[in-house]
Amino acid sequence: MITESTSLASDNDSVASQRSLRMRGLPDIFAPTNAVTRPLLAKKGPNCDEMCIHIDGKDYICRICHGGYSSGDLLTPCKCKGSIALAHLNCLEIWLNESNRNECELCQYHFRIVREPKYGVLRSIFVFLRHPGDHFRELIVDVFTLAVYTPSTVTSTYMLMLLCESMAKASPKFRKTILSHVMAFISIFGIAAINFTYTSWLVLTIEKYVDYWRDWYKHNCSLRVILSANKLNANPALLNNTATS
């Protein structure tokens, strides 16, 4: 028993030492990031390797990514104040692109946005059909329905047209009977109903995928937020206002 406990203790020590070595090799992902307002100001802390700003003993982080490696200076791009006012420009652009918004969800400030599509119209259609995302199963079902529905519609229409033609070539005596009139009505009504149903389904399906493609096309673009001049001018008073609000 003493030998087993000794071996278990040694194994635990080795695992702990390996874990500590791995943790030393990892970057400090929770380190404070750049805290800068509209003026791109930054101050390097005495015990911090990254750029950071301390206001009243507090470290301010990006309200979107909540810190981590800084992808740029922290800005106050909208009218929000306090700790929620700060955000990386890159994080803001990603959030606006994914949420398909042009304004801040908190203060309703409208951003100046430039969207540049990644693909042309024709190429984007092929890319969307190859990678439909969440609509993959729906696309497979609709393609299968189209493959079954189209030949069925064509065959049914052709058979009913042959029936109408045979009725037209029938003897005058038979054409005057009630049966001939009923068969002619059924043939014409069947052709109209089948083609109307098929055409309506096809049009609605195409409109549905056009809407899917438009949403996909809007999200698959390069979005840039254009900051106005007053958001790039040095304004230390705004930094203090942000901290105390």
Average of per-residue pLDDT across 181-200: 91
- What is the pairing mode between strands 54-55 and 58-59? antiparallel
Q: pLDDT tens-digit profile of 71-100?
A: 567 777 888 877 777 788 888 888 888 887
> What confidence category does residue 199 fall into, taking pLDDT thresholds of 50, 70 and 90?
very high
Contacts of 6 (CB under 8 A, 6+ apart): none
3-state secondary structure of 24: helix
Arch. (CATH architecture) of 20-99+234-244 = 2-Layer Sandwich (3.30)
Q: Can you give the pTM of this predicted structure? A: 0.53
| % residues pLDDT > 70 (the chain) | 66
Hey, what are 19's tokens? 């874990």
Q: pLDDT tens-digit profile of 142-151?
A: 999 999 999 9
Contact assessment for residue 77 and residue 89, using Cβ atoms and an 8 Å cutoff: yes
Contacts of 176 (CB under 8 A, 6+ apart): none
Backbone angles phi, psi at 41, to 5 degrees: -95, 145
C-alpha distance from residue 167 to each of 7, 160, 163, 192, 195 (Å): 97, 11, 6, 17, 21
Backbone angles phi, psi at 225, to 5 degrees: -95, 125
Domain extents for the chain? 20-99+234-244, 122-219
- Please give the distance of CA 136 from its chain centroid, rounded to a whole number: 15
Sign of CA dihedral 37, 41, 46, 48: positive
Residue 156: CB atoms within 10 Å: 16
